[in-house]
Structure 1
Amino acid sequence: MELIMQHKSLGRVFEVRCLHIPVNDRTTYEGLLHVVEESVKYEHNLSPNRPIYITGDSFGGCLALSLAARNPEIDLVLILVNPATSFAKTPLQAMLPLLEMVPSNLPVITLPHLLRYFIGDPLKMAIVSIQTNTSPQDTLQRFSENLSSILPLLSEFGRVVQMDTLLWKLKLLKSGAEYANSHLHAVQAEVLLLASGNDNLPPSGEADRLFKTLKTCKVRYFRTSSDRLLMEESFNLLTVIKGSSMYRQGKQRDAVTDFLPPTLSEFRRTYGVDFKLLHHLLSPVMLSTLRNGKIVRGLAGVPDKGPVLLVGYHQLLAMEITSMAEEFLREKKAVLRTLAHPVFFVGNFEILRQEISFFDVVPMYGGVQVSPINTYRLFERDEFVLLYPGGIREALHRKDEDYQLFWPDQPEFVRMAAQFGVTVIPFGCVGEDDMLEIVLDYNDLKNIPFIRETIESFNQDCPGVRSTVKGEEGNQVLHLPAVLPKVPGRLYYLFGKSIEMKGMGGVQRDRESANQLYLDIKSEVENIMSYLKRKREQDPYRSITARTLYQATWGATAQIPTFEP
């Protein structure tokens, strides 16, 4: 019942199997575990090199953990949704002796709060089949019809199910929790733990205990959701699996081949809800350069097919990425495969990602860990690749370093682009100085004792990406500068003229030629930013006030004009 809202999306990626316990079944916990175990072993024998995903909600979470503990040789990925491993701490445990005194043939409907625990929330069940794009009137009518049809069934169900059934289920739950807790040390499987409802949240929540106990565990908290998380209308299990980098087809996750492009519903959720306000404030202007050198609005100057390498400046706190990703999806139907810092993927920093955040958006929208081999493989697959040679040194720059490039003397990406005949597009983006002001940068933070020690400890455990590069270009210290928002200006992008690398075999073989082209690309990025800084002064809608008045006149969806290129 709980998984019914997730079937459609999960079915696009997985072969979904649902395990059901009949109402009159009285199999013991060990017996149920054996049944599930046989099913899993059967699937494993059919495809021994593929992982098996097991989603367990509440009692199902206990079964999943127990199964993993008994079968460490099988490649399992557990998705635990509010697992019932904390049963001993719940009021239900204390109620067991009292319920044993109740007549066994008493209908459960006489205890409605227990009936809700048994079958779930009827209001949420009534919402399941309603389309989200229907009008309010149709939604209300459909909801009323669904609820009217469900309530008599639930009433009948409550009369049919008697107290002995409920008592058996509670005892089963107790046995499952005890078994799972006593075998947590033996669980070798990857675990994604989804926690909602007050009983599961920190500081005393069950999810925190399991995260610290299990060997390989990721947690995502949903603080505003009920304990019936899988039936929340806004919740999508597949999206969470993708965002937490838990989807894989083989023994190890491959960020290149295991990537699942965002669906239309995910795109609408990300850019129509999550980033809607941010993009309204940024009001990005996208410009590109045609083959004849003419600058036009939009991405007409960018090729429609890859392999393409976008090389440019990384703005403060990477504020430019989400708008770029959206525009390429809208106009080019292309996913930007961003070469990102390891902090977005390394498990040691999982505690930073326990809330759904930008850390999940990066892998969900194509981000991969920056490395030569990943770049090579993305070019091989004709992808649109986004590279920031300045890395986090630019994205976390100091005061008065706006629009300075910190590119190392390493032209390897140019030689690799020549090898695959990649189209290289230099680009620049300006606007960070109209959005944020740095109050405390790294030079300030490192002089504050407690913060300095925290930064040092964090960076000692984090894999570096430029440990051999000297000078400021290699000073890739992870930290979070203190910033203050400004009255928003506007973000401006310009994608320069395409550089066709096909046929440039000499660049691949000659380091001097590669280095010269590298410097030319760097110079072009600097020229683009100078152009944008100059031209934005001519934009009558650079101010958010002017943009708001324009949209109030012409509508919220109207494209806001800008300067003439």
Structure 2
Amino acid sequence: MTNPIVDRANRVATLQKAIFTVADLLGPAVDLSRFYVDGLENLPRDGRFLLVGNHTTAGWAEVVLIPYFVHRELGVRVRGLATRQLADMRGIGRDVLEAAGAVVGDPDVGAELMRQNETVLVFPGGGRDMLKFKGEEYQLLWEGRSGFARLAIAHDYPIVPVGLVGGDDVYHMLVERGGTWERMTRGIGQRLHGVNGVGIPLVRGVGPTMVPRPQRMYLRFGSPIDTTRPAKTPVADWQNTVKERTQTALQGILDDLRTRRESDPYRNLNPLAWGRALRPLAAG
């Protein structure tokens, strides 16, 4: 039986080299784009940590920007625990995702990555965290999921909460969870997006269209959370404590970034405000 982490087709290895070569060349363009990024000094230098982030309705921003800036800072490839649908994918799409670092989000795969001291990224909310309804912007829809905490504790991995703001602002959510439309579309929603018990969000972007609204992205890496279990603390209690600490820290990051975003004249990517864009505080 092949190991999905170690045994890779030659074409995937070739794609990996190409992806990271291009990523390294894109530095000047990324700097001109003025993504707001802070907290990189919080990343453990050995690359041995678990990133825990929030999904947004944009979807792409956190999936691309978190691994990019970690690689740029530390030179490591982030291994993202992806939806199990990755296992059913075929062709170039799967090859690109695997080359970029994605693996199926299975506990055994995550454990193997940690045994190999890899940098790991997980979004505990999964697809449900992307399916936001009116009033749910930047809420963490984890529904009690704590598998990431159990995994980090078992392998003595520090957790780095990482929050992204901007991705839930590219669309206006038009309907509420539990409303008539959401309840009526739960059946077809499950077939389309694969999340049980969730209907289809209705959103709009620029004007009445589905074109995403231009938004600046704000990314923050929080302080590492120690997962070493204190003596005499029951395993289940400590797992819940680590989960709650992570969720609280991440929600705090999101709330603070939203506050900072409100005072940023460049938040809607107005080119006339590029020179006055809010800048991160210097690491101190």
TM over 0.5: yes
Deviation at 1:431, TM superposition (A): 1.0
The residue number in structure 2 matching 1:525 is 250
Rounded Cα–Cα distance in structure 2 between residues aligned with 1:545 and 1:526: 28
Amino acid at match of 1:257: V
The residue number in structure 1 matching 2:70 is 328
Task: Pick from 456, 471, 490 the counterpart of residue 216 of structure 2.
Answer: 490
The residue number in structure 1 matching 2:100 is 365
The residue number in structure 2 matching 1:24 is none
Rounded Cα–Cα distance in structure 1 between residues aligned with 2:117 and 2:68: 19
Indicate how the Cα distance of structure 1 residues 436 and 458 shifts in structure 2: closer, same or farther if over 3 A, else same: closer
Rounded Cα–Cα distance in structure 2 between residues aligned with 1:369 and 1:385: 12
The residue number in structure 2 matching 1:343 is 85
**Residues 171, 203 of structure 2: 8 Å contact kept:** no
The residue number in structure 2 matching 1:287 is 38
Indicate how the Cα distance of structure 1 residues 413 and 510 shifts in structure 2: closer, same or farther if over 3 A, else same: same
Task: Pick from 144, 148, 153 the counterpart of residue 413 of structure 1.
Answer: 148
Task: Pick from 260, 267, 274 the counterpart of residue 542 of structure 1.
Answer: 267
Amino acid at match of 1:267: F
Rounded Cα–Cα distance in structure 2 between residues aligned with 1:256 and 1:476: 32
Rounded Cα–Cα distance in structure 1 between residues aligned with 2:240 and 2:172: 35
The residue number in structure 2 matching 1:307 is 48
Indicate how the Cα distance of structure 1 residues 447 and 271 shifts in structure 2: closer, same or farther if over 3 A, else same: farther
**Residues 56, 168 of structure 2: 8 Å contact kept:** no
Rounded Cα–Cα distance in structure 1 between residues aligned with 2:32 and 2:133: 24
Q: SS state of the match for residue 403, structure 1?
A: coil
Deviation at 1:396, TM superposition (A): 1.8
**Residues 431, 491 of structure 1: 8 Å contact kept:** yes
**Residues 540, 546 of structure 1: 8 Å contact kept:** no
Indicate how the Cα distance of structure 1 residues 452 and 304 shifts in structure 2: closer, same or farther if over 3 A, else same: same
Q: SS state of the match for residue 427, structure 1?
A: strand
Matched, 1:512 2:237: yes
The residue number in structure 2 matching 1:33 is none
Deviation at 1:281, TM superposition (A): 10
Indicate how the Cα distance of structure 1 residues 345 and 317 shifts in structure 2: closer, same or farther if over 3 A, else same: farther
The residue number in structure 2 matching 1:266 is 19
Matched ranges for 1:80-99 at <5 A: none
**Residues 306, 423 of structure 1: 8 Å contact kept:** no
Amino acid at match of 1:285: Y
Q: SS state of the match for residue 161, structure 2?
A: strand
Deviation at 1:452, TM superposition (A): 5.4
Rounded Cα–Cα distance in structure 2 between residues aligned with 1:410 and 1:486: 30
Deviations 1:216-252 (A, max 9, x none): xxxxxxxxxxxxxxxxxxxxxxxxxxxxxxxxxxx54
Indicate how the Cα distance of structure 1 residues 482 and 490 shifts in structure 2: closer, same or farther if over 3 A, else same: same
Indicate how the Cα distance of structure 1 residues 446 and 283 shifts in structure 2: closer, same or farther if over 3 A, else same: farther
> % of aligned pairs identical?
24
Indicate how the Cα distance of structure 1 residues 441 and 266 shifts in structure 2: closer, same or farther if over 3 A, else same: farther
**Residues 84, 106 of structure 2: 8 Å contact kept:** no
- The farther-off stretch of 493-502 and 542-551 is 542-551
Rounded Cα–Cα distance in structure 2 between residues aligned with 1:258 and 1:341: 20
Amino acid at match of 2:36: V
Deviation at 1:424, TM superposition (A): 0.8
The residue number in structure 2 matching 1:102 is none
**Residues 16, 99 of structure 2: 8 Å contact kept:** no
Rounded Cα–Cα distance in structure 1 between residues aligned with 2:44 and 2:224: 8
Deviation at 1:505, TM superposition (A): 6.3
Deviations 1:32-60 (A, max 9, x none): xxxxxxxxxxxxxxxxxxxxxxxxxxxxx
**Residues 214, 269 of structure 2: 8 Å contact kept:** yes
- Between 1 and 2, higher relative CO (CA 8 Å, sep ≥ 6) is seen in 2
Point out the structure with the larger helix share.
1
Amino acid at match of 1:324: I
Q: SS state of the match for residue 407, structure 1?
A: coil
**Residues 339, 385 of structure 1: 8 Å contact kept:** yes
Indicate how the Cα distance of structure 1 residues 438 and 511 shifts in structure 2: closer, same or farther if over 3 A, else same: same
Deviation at 1:446, TM superposition (A): 6.7
The residue number in structure 1 matching 2:279 is 562
Q: Normalising by structure 2, what TM-score?
A: 0.77
Rounded Cα–Cα distance in structure 2 between residues aligned with 1:476 and 1:268: 42
- In our comparison, the structure showing a higher alpha carbon Rg is 1
Rounded Cα–Cα distance in structure 1 between residues aligned with 2:32 and 2:134: 23
Deviation at 1:447, TM superposition (A): 4.0
Indicate how the Cα distance of structure 1 residues 269 and 563 shifts in structure 2: closer, same or farther if over 3 A, else same: closer
List gaps (5 residues or longer) in structure 2. 206-210
**Residues 402, 433 of structure 1: 8 Å contact kept:** yes
Amino acid at match of 1:562: R
